[in-house]
Amino acid sequence: MAAPRRRIRLRGDAIRAPTERARRRRQACLREPIIGIPRRRRRGPDRGDGIRHWPRQDHPREPTDDGGRADPRRRAGDRHHRRPTRHIGALVPRAVRGDEVTAPDIVLVGLGNPGDEYQGTRHNLGYEVVDLLTSRHSRRTPYMKHRAWLMPVEIGGRDVLLVKPLTFMNSSGHSVREVLDACDLAPEAAWIVVDDYNIPLGALRIRLRGSDGGHNGIASVIESLSTREFPRFRLGIGSAPGRMPTIKYVLGRFRREEKKEAEALVAHAADAVAYAARDGLTQAMSRFNRTLAVEPD
Assess contact for 147 and 167: CB atoms under 8 A: yes
Assess contact for 159 and 93: CB atoms under 8 A: no
Residue 53 is a catalytic residue: no
Q: Which residue is catalytic, options 53, 59, 81, 123?
A: 123
Burial (CB count within 10 angstroms: exposed 0-12, middle 13-18, buried 19+), residue 52: exposed
Tell me the C-alpha distance between 68 and 84, whole Å: 7
Per-residue DSSP letter, 162:
E
C-beta neighbour count of 86 within 10 angstroms: 11
Report how many helices (DSSP H) and strands (DSSP E) the chain contains, helices first.
Answer: 8, 7
The distance of Cα 160 from the centroid of its chain, to the nearest Å, equals: 18
Catalytic positions: 123
